[in-house]
Chain A
Amino acid sequence: MKAISRTSSATAPSAEVTGARSFARTTRLLMAPAVIFLLIWMLVPLAMTIYYSFQQYNLVMPMYNGFAGLNNFAILLSDPTFWKSLANTLIIVGASLVITVSLGLMLALLFNRTFVGRGVARTLAVAPFFVMPVVTGLIWKNMLFHPVYGLFAWVARQLGLEPVDWLAHYPMLSVIIMITWEWTPFALLVLLTGLQSLPEDQIEAARLDGASAWQEFRHIVIPHLGQVLYVVVMLESIFFLTSFAEIYTTTSGGPGTATTNLPYYIFQTVFQQTDIGIASAAAIGAVILANIFAIMLIRFIAGNLNAGAAR
C-alpha cells in the first residue's frame, strides 16, 4: 500500500530509496519500545533464571555461592517434595480442565437456548471469572468450607450428616473446586461466543433432513466448536499451571505438601529457604511444562494469523 505513494514520486529514484529507508527506520522505531520492554522484563530474566539454575546461590549462606553444574537439578530430582508438587500441578491442571471444559460446554449449550431473562442469568453465571482470586480463596475458605461456621457445614448438619473439614481432609478437591468455580465461567463465556457463531443454515438443513438432536450436536456443533475447545483447553492449561492465589490464601500448600503445586514450591524455596539456585532449577521445570502447551497454542495462533492475512 505504501508502494502506491512511492511510485507516485518515482521520478527521482534516489529520493525514493532514501524515502524507503527512512520509512523502514520509522516503523522500526515504532516497534522498538514494545519489543525492548518485553526483552528486558521477560527474556532477560528468563536467561538469568537459567544462569542461576547452574549456581549454588543461597541468600543467607553467601560464602558457599559459586558454579554448581547440574547439582541443583540433582538435588531437585531427589527431593520428594518437588515430585509431589509436580504431581499436584498435573492433578490440578488435569482435573480442573476436565471439569471446567465439560461443565462449561454443558452450560454453554444451556445458555445458548432462549429463555426468560437469559441475559441476566448469563451475567450472573459468568461473574466468578471477574472475582479477584484472592477473594475467591477467602470466600470459600471462611464462609463455605469452614467446618463449624461455614455454610457447607450447616447444610450437612441440616441433612443429619457430620460436617466435613474440607481444607483439612479434602485439600486437593477443595482447591480444584475453587479453581473450577472461577474458570468454568471462562469456558462458558468462550464456548458460548463460539456457539453463537454457529452456521444457522447448516442446522436448518440438518433438521430438515431429520437429524436428531444428538446427530446435530455430534456432526455440526462439535466440529465447529473444535477450534474453540482447543483454545480453551490450551489457555486454561497454561493458567492452571500457574495457580497460586487460591492456594496461598487457603491451604498454604498443605496440609503437609498435599496442595503444594510447582509455583507454590518455588515461592517457598525462594522466600522461606532463600535458595535461589534450586528455586531457579524448579522454575526452569515450570517453564518447560508451560512450553509444552504454549508451543501448541502459539502454532495455532500463528496459523490463524496467516489465515487472517489471506482473507
Chain B
Amino acid sequence: MNSSRFTNGVMGVLAWIVALLIFFPILWLLLTAFKTEQQAFTVVPNFFFSPTLESFKTALAQGSGYWHYAWNSVLTAVASTVIGLALAVPAAYAMAFYPNKRTDFLLVWMVSTKFIPAVGVLIPIYLVYSAVGLLDNALGLTLLFTAMNLPIIVWMVYSYFRDIPKDIVEAADIDGASIMQTLFKVVLPLALPGLASTGLLALILAWNESFWSITMTDHSAATLAVYIASFKSAEGLFWAKMSAASVLAIAPIIVLGWFTQRQMVRGLTFGAVK
C-alpha cells in the first residue's frame, strides 16, 4: 500500500515536470512579451525582471498594422465558420434524418476531400484567384478556409444530429411539420451545444491556418499568421515586439482550445475517438 502511494507520488511529480517542460516555450514567449527589447535580446537570459507593457504598446501602436491583420484574422475565421455551418447544417440534416442509399457514399466522399493535401489544389486555385481578382482578398481566403473546414464541420454536425433521438423528428413529421420546420423548430435547438462546439473548432482551425494565408495573401487580406511570419527575418531586432504580437494572437485560441479539447478530438478523428 505504502509503495503504491509512493509510486503515485513520484508519478504525479513526474507528470508535473513533463507538463511544465512542454509548456515552457509558451511561458518563455509570454515572459519575453513583458520585457523591453534590450531585456529580450541578451546572451544571459533574464528570468527575473520588472515586467513592462512597453512591447505590447509597440506591437499594438498605430503604425504596426496589428489591428489590420487582427481584423482580417477575425473576419476570415468568423465568416468561414458561418458559411461552413450554413452549408453543412442542411446537408448533415438530410443525411442524418432522411438517408438514402447514396448517403454513406456522399458523407465519406466529403470527408475524403479533407485528405487532399493543400499543395494538390494550390496551383489552379492560385491561378484562378489571380485571374478573377480573389488573390490577397478576404473573400477568397474565407472561401478557402470554408473548403478546408467543411468536411470536418459536416461530419461533426452529422454526428451531433445522429445523437438526437429519431422519435422526436418522427413525431414532428407526423404532426405535419415540413422538413424545414422540423429542422428549425426541433433539430437545431436540440443540437445547439454541438453546433457551438463545431463552430469553435472551425474557428480555431481557421485562425491558426498558415499555408493558404501565406500563399494567397500579401497585405490587404493578410492575417495574423502572415504578419507574425514576417518576423522570420528579424534577426534579434524585435523579439519582444514579436513575442507580444504572438501572445496576443495565440492566447485567445489556447484558452478556447482548453475548453474544447473533447470536441477537438471528436472532430479531428472524425468520430473514431470520443
Identity of the chain A residue whose Cβ is nearest the Cβ of B268 in the assembled complex: A235
Identity of the chain A residue whose Cβ is nearest the Cβ of B207 in the assembled complex: A132
Identity of the chain A residue whose Cβ is nearest the Cβ of B272 in the assembled complex: A231
- A:94-127 near B, CB below 8 Å: 107, 110-111, 113-118, 121-127
The answer to whether A301 has its CB under 8 Å from any CB of chain B is yes
Bitwise, B127-171 to A at CB < 8 A (1) or not (0) is 110000000000000011011001100100000001000100110
The answer to whether B1 has its CB under 8 Å from any CB of chain A is no
Q: With A and B bound together, what is the CA distance between A290 and B274 in angstroms?
A: 25
- B:1-58 near A, CB below 8 Å: 8-9, 11-12, 14-16, 18-20, 22-23, 25-26, 28-29, 32, 41-45
Q: Which residues of A contact B261 (CB under 8 A)?
A: 126, 189
Q: A30-B93, A37-B150, A228-B273 are in contact. Are A242 and B242 (CB under 8 A)?
A: no
Q: Which residues of A contact B246 (CB under 8 A)?
A: 132, 135, 138-139
The answer to whether A217 has its CB under 8 Å from any CB of chain B is no
**B113, A305: Cβ atoms under 8 Å?**
no
A interface bracket (residues with beta carbon within 8 Å of B) = 35 or more
- A:183-232 near B, CB below 8 Å: 184-186, 189-190, 193-194, 197, 227-228, 231-232
The answer to whether A143 has its CB under 8 Å from any CB of chain B is yes
The answer to whether B214 has its CB under 8 Å from any CB of chain A is yes
Number of interface residues of B (CB under 8 A): 105
Q: Which residues of A contact B180 (CB under 8 A)?
A: 26
Q: With A and B bound together, what is the CA distance between A279 and B121 in angstroms?
A: 11
**A24, B100: Cβ atoms under 8 Å?**
yes
Q: Which residues of B contact A194 (CB under 8 A)?
A: 273
The answer to whether A276 has its CB under 8 Å from any CB of chain B is yes
User: What is the distance, in angstroms, from B211's C-beta to the closest C-beta of chain A?
Assistant: 5
The answer to whether B60 has its CB under 8 Å from any CB of chain A is no
Q: Which residues of B contact A171 (CB under 8 A)?
A: none
The answer to whether B90 has its CB under 8 Å from any CB of chain A is yes
Find B123's partner among A43, A131, A280, A305 (CB 8 Å cutoff).
Answer: A280
**A138, B242: Cβ atoms under 8 Å?**
yes
Identity of the chain B residue whose Cβ is nearest the Cβ of A121 in the assembled complex: B19
Q: A49-B120, A287-B116 are in contact. Are A308 and B162 (CB under 8 A)?
A: yes
User: What is the distance, in angstroms, from A198's C-beta to the closest C-beta of chain B?
Assistant: 13
A sample of 4 more A-B contacts (CB under 8 A), given A132-B210, A189-B261, is A122-B19, A134-B225, A197-B274, A232-B269
Which A residues lie at the B interface, using CB under 8 A?
A: 1-2, 4-5, 8, 23-24, 26-31, 33-35, 37-38, 41-46, 48-49, 52, 107, 110-111, 113-118, 121-144, 146, 148-149, 151, 154, 181, 184-186, 189-190, 193-194, 197, 227-228, 231-232, 235, 238, 241-242, 244-245, 248-250, 262-263, 266-267, 270-271, 276, 279-280, 282-284, 286-287, 290-291, 293-294, 297-298, 300-302, 304-306, 308-309
